[in-house]
Chain A
Amino acid sequence: MPLLEVDNLEIAIAMRGQLLPVVRGISFSVDEGETLGIVGESGCGKSLTSLAIMGLLDGTPVRITGGDIRFEGQDLRQLNRRERRAIMGSRMAMIFQEPMTSLNPVYRIGDQIVENLRQHQKISQKAARARAIELLELVRIPEPQQRVDSYPHQMSGGQRQRVMIAMALSCDPKLLIADEPTTALDVTVQKEVLDLMADLQERMGTAIVLISHDLGVIAETCDKVAVMYRGKIAEAAPTDDLFARLAHPYTRGLLNSIPVVDRDVEWLEAIPGRVPGIDEDIEGCAFHPRCPRAQDICRRNEPKQHRIGNEHTSHCHFAEEAAP
């Protein structure tokens, strides 16, 4: 049984009395200790998917309109608030894109870790503090004994993100959802944080869902990849298979728009156009207005799932032909 299983999830935004679909039936699963990367442009629905899994859509105009989210076999959508709270932070945790605002500015970071620990475990104040220092050390914060009493504003963005990771890992979660954890950080710090996550995953066996728009980050850290476009999974495969054989023009476009150091290129090839607005209707394949290989069939029919390899799937009419 997979640790996390998302089955045909549909999410819509309520606007002017209408429900506009944003995530249009996506399915994926994550096994224990595995890293899944979800990649896509802004607005493709990847963040909403993570928020839906964590149950953070309450009180927003966004709602889940269909599908199941199962965690350790339990349907998260059926749980009441109390049952959900018992899972959140202990067996399932999340880190956010903005390390600058994801820590409460009025509390010392140590107190925030302690609070999270004591919320889920019967542990004394003193022991929790000792554990907080241990965790800070684990995420490589220098001088954890002193830094435990720092306020968030006294730390850099990279340090804060590491504190967030420490907090998320404080109760040994089975699953960590990381929504663009390195986007707000500069490249060197980004590398440190990714290495740290990979290292901690190896040690603690945590499964990670890594959401990113950076295919490079995904390639480096993930066991398998799901490429999302306009609320659907365009292509999904184990990382090695995906890069061995790109079976969707969108994935190819994403890859081509990354600069390569050892090749001299005058112009980077960008994907033309933009992600269509959620209120636009597109007949046929959602990617066809931007696709270099679009044919008549793409404008008429929505592509079905094509199986290329064992676990490699693509939603493109020409998936089989799109050889490397």
Chain B
Amino acid sequence: MTAVVQQVQDIFAGRRLASIGLSWLILILIVAIAAPLIAPFDPYEIDPIARLSPPGWPHLFGTDHFGRDTFSRAIYGARMTVLIGSGSVIVALLTGGLIGMLSAYFTRAGNVLMRGVDVLMAFPALLLALVLITLLERSVVNTIIVIGIVYATTTARILYGMTLKLKREVFVDAAICSGAGHGSILFRHILPNLLSPLLVQASFIFAFAQLQAAALDFLGLGLPAEVPSWGNMLAEERIYITRAPWLLLFPGALIILSVFSMNLVGDAMRDSIDPRFKDDIAGV
């Protein structure tokens, strides 16, 4: 544990902007976990009398056109942010990572698999997401799956290239010589060498998943409409932009801040593992 803390310190030391980004992400995480404790109102509670009230007391961020408390919905929206982000990362890394690694290792099957990946990559990310989501129902799980698949393609490409290189390393030959089987070579000898790039990839997927999810929500194809997410809040209240601009200001700002923070953190992590900036690759 102390080693992890030490490493985080190493990465963020001297990077003020990235540290602020990390702090913001930690705050989002805490808020997401403790949402029921922090939110002053039930995010689903409708109060028609107070509808479209401006920011103030007791409604810090005002209320939407159903009279729901925007602050509480924004706090519950953090849950969706974390859920969609981590869910998409897991789906993308598991499917994309496996496809990439196996394709590079078993070249014959890989040629077929990677051409499939190429086909998926030929579509713009959002278009691919739209196509996939129209085949499925609107739900939290399906949104995660769709976004995960979209980013699985880039993950597969990256891991494909890196595995191709790694499997020609002498230590892999040495492993074969010591009688290691395919599974052991792939997962015990090659995979640990891929952890750093995977981590960086994860941080960027996390960020892009937010944008993608917000875009899907905005188009009415993401999470079910009643679920409080920042993208849904934007989508629902966009017609009130002249009467109640705060309804868009707060979720919009939250999305921007979060995605920006994740990118900052991702950049910092990438820099820290880039061998050009580092003289040893200790303790990966």
Binding site for B on A (CB under 8 A): 54-56, 59, 81, 84-90, 93-94, 96-98, 101-107, 115-116, 119-120, 151, 153-154, 164, 167-168
Contact = CB atoms under 8 A, between A and B. Distances in A.
A102 B174 contact: yes
Contacts of B170: 96-98, 101-102
A32 B10 CA distance: 53
29 contacts: A54-B177, A56-B173, A56-B176, A59-B107, A81-B181, A85-B179, A85-B181, A88-B177, A88-B179, A89-B178, A93-B177, A94-B174, A102-B173, A104-B171, A104-B189, A105-B171, A105-B281, A106-B192, A106-B195, A106-B284, A119-B178, A119-B179, A119-B180, A151-B282, A151-B283, A153-B281, A153-B282, A167-B174, A168-B178
B175 interface: yes
Q: Which 6 A-B pairs have the closest CB atoms?
A: A89-B178, A89-B179, A88-B179, A102-B170, A106-B192, A85-B179
A230 B203 CA distance: 52
Contacts of A104: 171, 175, 189, 192-193
A38 B109 CA distance: 38
B169 interface: yes
Given A104-B193, A106-B193, A106-B284, A96 B173 contact: yes
Nearest to A99: B170
Contacts of B281: 105, 153
A90 B169 contact: no
Contacts of A153: 280-282
Contacts of A164: 174
Given A56-B173, A98-B170, A101-B171, A87 B192 contact: no
Contacts, number: 74
Contacts of A56: 173, 176-177
Nearest to A153: B280
A86 B174 CA distance: 15
Contacts of A87: 179
Contacts of A90: 179
A102 B195 CA distance: 19
Contacts of B15: none
Interface string B149-184: 000000000000000000001110111111111001
Given A115-B188, A153-B280, A153-B281, A103 B171 contact: yes
A167 B178 CA distance: 9
A116 B193 contact: no
Contacts of B282: 151, 153-154
Contacts of B171: 101-105
Nearest to A97: B170
B174 to A, nearest CB: 5
Contacts of A105: 171, 193, 281, 284
A154 B283 CA distance: 11
B282 to A, nearest CB: 6
Given A93-B177, A96-B173, 20 more contacts: A56-B176, A86-B179, A88-B176, A88-B178, A89-B177, A89-B178, A89-B179, A89-B180, A94-B177, A98-B170, A101-B169, A102-B173, A103-B174, A104-B175, A104-B189, A106-B195, A115-B188, A119-B180, A154-B282, A167-B178
